[in-house]
Amino acid sequence: MNFCVNCGHTTTDKIPLGDQQLRKVCTTCGYIHYINPKIICGALVVWENKVLLCRRAIEPRYGLWTLPAGYMELFETMEQGAARETREEAEAEIEIEQLYCMYNIPRIGQIYVLFKSTLLNGKFGAGEETIESQLFEEENIPWTELAFPSVEQTLRHYFEDRKTHHFPMHLETLGTRLDHTG
């Protein structure tokens, strides 16, 4: 970021007073440009012992399977974001049951928040960012075609937790693999 978003003048690298991080600071108005992690919200959608996956019609990871999820928008809650992303990607309405998985992915500046949810009325489709959506039983999950480590980890937690009917919240930091997203 070479120019200030506040006044348009040039920025310089500087550690602001009271801070410990190098930031871009405007040389004219002093505006400090903070770059913070992005929040991705989504849903693990369950219907009759099956989970809903979407085959991506966009990059990154075009053609691979994922949970409906995406960037949180301003002025919405994480739950609203998860429900909106599910509507947009899978044309499905959900009832959110609980916060289920949260992943720190510091190497790409993202935080994934996934809610365990129930598909309402069993209806779903494919939105503009989705080639197709499908309900999968555990034995039919396309494990080698999953788009992101966060998707695989969430599914593994779910199928393990389902054995005991106890679904605790999982908080983890995902590894150092150098793919595009978590």
> Do you know the residue count of the chain?
182
Predicted local confidence at residue 10, as pLDDT: 97
Q: What does the alpha-carbon distance between residue 182 and residue 178 come to, in Å, rounded to a whole number?
A: 9
C-alpha distances in Å from residue 124, one per residue of 10, 77, 130: 49, 23, 12
With CA atoms as reference, report the closest residue to 98 among 44, 17, 149.
Answer: 44
The answer to whether 61 and 180 are in contact (CB under 8 A) is yes
Same domain? 49 vs 138: yes
Exposure string (b/e) for 107-134, b if CB count within 10 Å is 16 or more? Answer: eeebbbbbbbbebeeeebebbebbeebb
pTM to 2 decimal places? 0.89
22 burial level (CB within 10 Å; 0-12, 13-18, 19+): exposed
Same domain? 118 vs 81: yes
C-alpha distances in Å from residue 46, one per residue of 6, 117, 158: 45, 6, 10
Write the CATH number for 8: 2.20.70.10
Same domain? 107 vs 74: yes
Same domain? 48 vs 130: yes
The answer to whether 174 and 150 are in contact (CB under 8 A) is yes
Same domain? 63 vs 147: yes
Same domain? 28 vs 68: no
Instruction: Count how many domains the chain has.
Output: 2
Other CB atoms within 10 Å distance of the CB of residue 46: 18
Each residue's pLDDT expressed in tens, for the chain with a length of 182 residues = 899 999 999 999 999 999 999 999 999 999 999 999 999 999 999 999 999 999 999 999 999 999 999 999 999 999 999 999 999 999 999 999 999 999 999 999 999 999 999 999 999 999 999 999 999 999 999 999 999 999 999 999 999 999 999 999 999 999 755 444 44
Its domain, for residue 24, covers 1-35
Longest dimension (CA), the chain: 60
Q: What is the pLDDT of residues 101-148, one digit of tens each?
A: 999 999 999 999 999 999 999 999 999 999 999 999 999 999 999 999
Q: Return the structure tokens found at 173.
A: 């930091």
DSSP characters over 10-54: BEEEE--TT--S-EEEETTT--EE----EEEEEEEEEETTEEEEE
The answer to whether 129 and 56 are in contact (CB under 8 A) is yes
